Amino acid sequence: MVGVSGEILLEDTQQGDRLVLAGRGAWIAVNANGLETAIESLIRKYPSARNVAIDMAQVERLDTFGAWLLERLVRAFAQSGREAKVTGLKDDYRALMDELRNVKLEEVPARSGGQALRYALRSIGENVASVGGSFLAIVNMLGALVIALLRVFASPRKIRITSVVHQLDNVAWRAVPIILLITFLIGCIIAQQGLFHFRKFGADVYVVDMVGILVLRELGVLIVCIMVAGRSGSAYTAELGSMKMREEIDALQTMGFDPVEVLILPRILALIIGVPILTFLGSMAALYGGGLVCWLYGGIDPDIFLSRLKEAIALNTFQVGMIKAPFMALVIGAVACVEGLAVKGSAESLGRQTTASVVESIFLVIVLDGIFAIFFASIGM
């Protein structure tokens, strides 16, 4: 049998019931594949040889790969009750062979087995259970937040103003440009689409009603929350997750601090303050964008736009959007922190929880929006 560079690695000669194998060349990693095939076929070729001698004198180099294959050859013969004698091995390699002789090949324990169907069923079950689990975790987090908040109210010196301001800078101040840009564009697009379709039946001016109500009641707050969930929620999860991985949260706990009070409360307070501000700014930018398009594309003068807007919306249209904002901020913050604390040791788990955090919080924000819609409709707002 030949190696990579074409040299012969193993020769066999049979003398009666005596089998002589002579190794040659380099028994090293690059030749391991060829050598393995050679050994397999040899074992099959001589099922009856009583007496086996393996001469390794001609082997120039031997590494763990080659040594293991030699050991496997010896073991294969030993298994069928024949003894294989290895001779001529260089002194340098003897220690390696001794080491490998002690290797016990136990059955490697399988991690998760079973058939595909069982696996599929199990994963469905696990997923359902994990949905329940994460709902419980969020409720748990809300409870812990209330306790932390009460404790902070009891001794107001405990509130971490610096931390809140720092987080506010991250989640609100730095988010202003991108939020303004996106909501401005959304306002433009709604107005343009409205004009395009309303014009067909001469209802151009009702575009102002649509833009005003849609932006102030729903879109302003939703777009801002989706942006914040993607931008700040994921950052919270990643920050807390890597702190968890490096035992920083354990360190806080052992020093007698409550991680919820030190890390999570300031973050969530910052969101609860920041998201309404962003919602307000975003709504204004969207109205501005809508007005601009109405003027330039629809020929509705700014004066007419403003007076029409005044008629179309009341204070409660604005209130509906603003009331929703802090609740959505709370949901985004709680989900992000729960997922952050659920991170386990591996980098993969950090990625998984960050994804889960963003997906879950956007989903919950939309569900919450629906619940609010029902609520406001029933109280007539």
Partner 1 sequence: MAIAPHMNGKKEFANGQREVVIEARDIVVGFGNHIVLNHTDLDVYRGEILGFVGGSGSGKSVLMRTIIGLIHKRAGSIKVFGVDMDKACDLERRAVERRWGVLFQQGALFSSLTVMENLQFPVREYLKLSQRLLDDLAVAKLEMVGLDASVCSKFPSELSGGMTKRVALARALALDPEIVFLDEPTSGLDPIGAGDFDTLIATLQRTLGLTVYMVTHDLDSLHTVCDRIAVLAEGKVIAAGPMETMLKSEHPWLKSYFRGKRSRAGYQPQGKAMTPGVTV
Burial 300-318 (b: 16+ CB within 10 A, else e): beeeebeebbeebbeeebb
Determine, following the binding rule CB under 8 A, whether residue 63 of this chain makes contact with partner 1. yes
Going by their DSSP bridges, the two strands 51-62 and 83-87 should be labelled as parallel
The backbone torsions φ and ψ at residue 51, rounded to the nearest 5 degrees and listed phi first, read -125, 120
User: Which run of H or of E encompasses 93?
Assistant: helix 91-101
9-28 mask for partner 1 (x: CB under 8 A)? -------------------x
Q: What is the nearest approach in angstroms of partner 1 to the Cβ of residue 30?
A: 7
Q: What is the nearest approach in angstroms of partner 1 to the Cβ of residue 10?
A: 16
> For residues 174 and 344, which CB has a smaller minimum distance to partner 1 in the complex?
344
Q: What is the nearest approach in angstroms of partner 1 to the Cβ of residue 46?
A: 21
> For residues 95 and 379, which CB has a smaller minimum distance to partner 1 in the complex?
95
In whole angstroms, what separates CA 317 from the centre of its chain?
A: 38
Determine, following the binding rule CB under 8 A, whether residue 33 of this chain makes contact with partner 1. yes
Q: Which of 9, 38, 96, 263 binds partner 1 (CB under 8 A)?
A: 96
Determine, following the binding rule CB under 8 A, whether residue 100 of this chain makes contact with partner 1. yes
Determine, following the binding rule CB under 8 A, whether residue 32 of this chain makes contact with partner 1. yes
Q: Which of 2, 8, 20, 64 binds partner 1 (CB under 8 A)?
A: 64
Q: What is the nearest approach in angstroms of partner 1 to the Cβ of residue 126?
A: 17
CA torsion sign for 67, 71, 77, 83 is positive
> For residues 43 and 100, which CB has a smaller minimum distance to partner 1 in the complex?
100
Which segment (32-40, 183-191, 207-215, 355-363) binds partner 1 by CB under 8 A?
32-40
Determine, following the binding rule CB under 8 A, whether residue 344 of this chain makes contact with partner 1. yes
Q: Which long-range contacts (CB under 8 A, 24 or more apart) does 81-88 make?
A: 82/49, 82/50, 82/51, 82/52, 83/51, 83/52, 84/52, 84/53, 84/54, 85/52, 85/53, 85/54, 86/54, 86/56, 87/53, 87/54, 87/55, 87/56, 87/57, 88/55, 88/56, 88/57, 88/58
> For residues 126 and 301, which CB has a smaller minimum distance to partner 1 in the complex?
126
Determine, following the binding rule CB under 8 A, whether residue 29 of this chain makes contact with partner 1. yes
Determine, following the binding rule CB under 8 A, whether residue 347 of this chain makes contact with partner 1. yes
Q: What is the nearest approach in angstroms of partner 1 to the Cβ of residue 121?
A: 22
Q: 168 and 270 in contact (C-beta within 8 Å)?
A: yes
From the list 112, 47, 111, 120, the residue with the least C-alpha distance to 82 is 47
Q: Which of 156, 345, 370, 380 binds partner 1 (CB under 8 A)?
A: 345
> In a 10 Å sphere around its CB, with 0-12 CB exposed, 13-18 middle and 19+ buried, how is residue 36 labelled?
middle
List interacting residues with partner 1 (CB under 8 A): 28-30, 32-33, 36, 63-65, 68-69, 72, 92, 95-96, 98-100, 102-111, 344-348
